[in-house]
Amino acid sequence: MTEAAMTSGNGLSLRVHARRMLTETVCEFDLRRSDGGPLPAFEAGSSLIVQTPSSERRNYSLCNDDRERHRYVIAVKREATSRGGSRSMHDEAHEGVVFEVELARNGLRAGQGRRHLLVAGGIGITPMMSLLRRLARDPLNAFRLLYLARSRAEAPYAEELARMGLGNALTFHFSAEHGGRRLDVRPMLKDNGTGTHLYYCGPGRLMYSIGMSSIHWPRIHVHFEQFSSLAGTRAGDEAFTVKQASTGRIFEVGGNETILDSLRREGLKPEASCESGTCGKCRMTLVAGEADHRDMYLAPEDRPSSIMPCVSRSVGGAELELDF
């Protein structure tokens, strides 16, 4: 890699080489170096932190084959409630636009084993794509992908998956073709006695349902990727302050920004990766105050003394004192 392609830290400056609409609301971006040079290798299931044209940092799953070195491919759903990230990608990341990206931690690392069950809901297919390609190229792997969406037209990569020749390993369930009925995945998760690894990603309702139904599975066999429905801010969130324990410095956190956003606005560079409350990288010690925990990482016993500032906030707008 030449110096020209690198930015500060682990960042890269990449150009939108091509983009195409996968569905009415999901756009795929093919990102490459301007000089066509090779990119750092990535692991199947991992994701990319993108600085959108509107200068927000967003985490998107890498969808292409992990053996490819000439490009990173991501797919972005335009969220109706977008505060700017996905909207900016759709409206401003045209071909030729250059922005900063950074490889994030591995989101859905393939488990040590030969049996794999993947469940994707809608845009939740994106972290499965590179993982699936990797699993499919080893004939010793037994895997199954269950892909749930409202309709084929709203299911990104449905056609590509159908062309992959996965046979019985691929099951679609389009609720529009079943009178609007969603598939009940719970019976499939009842028995975990085969050493199967479970991977899942999708809307909150699906995440909750699978999470609860697989609670008896060994934790090392369960892998999930939480999308931004849990992340960031929600309508009605209150502003609050964060006090830095070591210095007493006060940081204002607006109602439409996260603690990490606020620290960055003030010039700090807090550790973070997924920015969706799942990886654990941004963990801080909660010294005082009551946190509104929105992550899926901390165990109940850790919550009184820790916080994930990428998603969590204060209860009722009261001050939080954090060690960072």
Minimal distance, residue 308 CB to ligand FES, in Å: 4
Alpha helices in the chain (DSSP H): 85-92, 126-136, 158-163, 204-213, 259-265
The CB-side HSE value for 192 (13 A sphere, CA atoms) comes to: 15
Residue 165: partners with Cβ closer than 8 Å, 6 or more residues away = none
Report the distance separating Cα 218 and Cα 212, nearest Å: 13
Min CB(260)–ligand FES separation in Å:
7
Stretch that binds ligand FES, among 136-144, 177-185, 198-206, 270-278 (CB under 6 A): 270-278
Among 110, 148, 169, 274, binds ligand FES (CB under 6 A): 274
Q: Is 242 in the site for ligand FES (CB under 6 A)?
A: no
Question: Between the CA of residue 186 and those of 146, 191, 192, 209, 241, what are the distances in Å?
Answer: 13, 10, 12, 7, 42
User: What is the smallest separation between the CB atom of 69 and ligand FES, expressed in angstroms?
Assistant: 26
Residue in 280, 287, 303, 317 binding ligand FES, rule: CB under 6 A: 280
Q: Which of 16, 275, 294, 313 binds ligand FES (CB under 6 A)?
A: 275
Q: Say whether residue 272 binds ligand FES (CB under 6 A).
A: yes
Using the contact rule CB under 6 A, the part of the chain among 133-141, 176-184, 245-253, 271-279 near ligand FES is 271-279
> Six-digit token pair at 157?
């990569």
Determine the 3-state secondary structure of 32 from DSSP.
strand
The minimum distance between CB 118 and ligand FES, in angstroms, equals 22
Least distance to ligand FES, CB of residue 310, Å: 3
Whichever of 111 and 270 has its CB closer to ligand FES, that residue is 270
**For ligand FES, which residue of 31, 132, 310, 320 counts as binding (CB under 6 A)?**
310
- What residues make contact with ligand FES under the rule CB under 6 A? 272-275, 277-282, 295, 297, 308, 310
